[in-house]
Amino acid sequence: MPAQSRYAGIIGTGSALPDRVLTNFDLERMVDTSDEWIRTRTGIRERRVAGEDVAASDLSVEAAREALANSGVAPEEIDLIIVATVTPDTLFPSTACLVQERLGAKGAAAFDLAAGCTGFLYALGVGQQFICSGTYEKVLVVGVDLLTKILNWEDRNTCVLFGDGAGAVVLAPVPPGEGILSLYLGADGSGGPLLVMPAGGSRLPASRDTVDRKLHTIHMQGREVFKFAVRILGEAALAALERAGLQKEDVDLLIPHQANIRIVEAALKRLGLSPEKAYVNLDRYGNMSSASVPVALDEARREGRLQKGDNLVLVSFGAGLTWGAAVVKWSMD
């Protein structure tokens, strides 16, 4: 790979979560499941659920304001806003444009990006490229999803897995050798049918029939997605480490997509890392899709799990099928 002349790093983080907590015991009263069944198979104990009047832009703005405050960057200094989501407020305008207006980031370009649960990693990579190319100086990246809005609450195989949230980071130039050292993204469209919301697009526009058949909710072939995730999470992390010129032993902290504790454990085994080297919060939030990694990143920073100079690995997988990983040399004090 050619030598970089500019490096992009994370200079601020933020997150936002709905107030309502939905526990496994609450779900026992809604569908044929149990706390033990959910915990032993997923590791999830509870998740957050957004209210009826809360949309993706609401949580995005809250997380973005925290990230901006943490970075010391004013909204008007932001050059670009990228929102990674599969649950936008509306198909158009983009959620990013709504966030831009509410933040007062009047000079910023803005667009949404959809890559399933891998969306934040894809958006991070896009933001990095704009900075490394010299096009922009400061980029706001938000990962947000409100998957509880598109769940079939009668399907015990999916409704127990997901929660709502938003995470944000501010990217800016950092000294050479710091910040994002490598990025590895991938996709396999043949796996698209494994995780899909069938209706609501141009293939199956909304109709009484699509609503009656619950085609505006998540449909997932869980066993196949699980097998894919167990394999790809470790592979993606290793590929990103190789691109960064680092070894497994160099990893100080792994922040994986928070989908299932067994998937996280498989990734740790593949990387030869102890459980203490992974940040896990899925027991409290479930799978927050695009918000999963940035929320965990923000919490890890707040809890003092990250020190300047640490080698951090972010890794995720999602609908598409998609996957991605980034190696970050932490540059915040």
- Residues assigned a catalytic role: 117, 257, 287
CB count in 10 Å sphere of residue 215: 18
**Residue partners of 104: CB distance under 8 A and separation at least 6:** 75, 76
Q: Are 38 and 161 in contact (CB under 8 A)?
A: no
Listed residue (139, 136, 166, 164) closest to 150, CA to CA: 164
β partners of residue 113: 84
Listed residue (314, 306, 294) closest to 82, CA to CA: 294
Q: What angle do CA 302, 125, 101 make, to 5 degrees?
A: 70
